[in-house]
Structures are given as C-alpha cells and as structure tokens.
Amino acid sequence: MDSEENVLRRKIVELLRSRQLTSEELARELRAAGLLKNPLVFRGALADLVREGVVLRIPSSEKMKFVFTVRNQLKPSGQSR
C-alpha cells in the first residue's frame, strides 16, 4: 500500500506536468481531489521533490511568488513557441 507522501508526490508531478503552480495552487488542487489530509506531509513531499531535482522552484514576477514545475517541462532560454 502506498504511503500518503508517495501518493502526494505522484499527484504533484502529474499536476505540474500540465502547468506551473504555486504551492498554494498545488494545495488547492490536492484538497479538491481529496488528497491533502496533512499540510506538513504535502510540504515535505514538495520539498523532497525539489531537493531531488524532479521539481524546480522558479521565481514568478507575474505571480510575485515561486512557482513549481517538473524539471523536463522547462523550455531552454531563447526558445519560444
């Protein structure tokens, strides 16, 4: 059986594959999905993903907060779509 943290880690990565989110936005999405039972477990899971290099924390001047994204989702500088 998966631990609460492992379930959160998978869902965080899944959410960040589609768009960049702040920690508050991530928490809101997880809460809506019924997965956020303990905010400390969420914060620990997100911090671990950042430390492991799976998730990147990027300053956003638009949101005036840090946003999170999955490492391989980031476009190299100078490239636009």
Q: Is the pLDDT of residue 36 over 90?
A: yes
How many angstroms from the chain centroid is the CA of residue 46? 6
Query: Is 66 in a helix, a strand, or coil?
Result: strand
Q: Is the pLDDT of residue 62 over 60?
A: yes
Q: Is residue 24 part of a domain?
A: yes
What ranges in 19-64 are assigned the alpha helix state H? 23-32, 39-51
Report the DSSP beta bridge partners of residue 65: 60
Q: What is the pTM of this model?
A: 0.83
Q: Is the pLDDT of residue 81 over 50?
A: no
Number of domains in the chain: 1
What pLDDT, on a 0 to 100 scale, did the predictor assign at position 26?
97
DSSP 14-26: HHHHH--B-HHHH
What pLDDT, on a 0 to 100 scale, did the predictor assign at position 72?
80
Q: Is residue 80 part of a domain?
A: no
Q: Is the pLDDT of residue 79 over 50?
A: no
**Cβ density class 55-79: b for 16+ within 10 Å, e for less:** bbeeeeeeeeeebbbbeeeeeeeee
The domain spanning residue 51 has which CATH number? Answer: 1.10.10.10
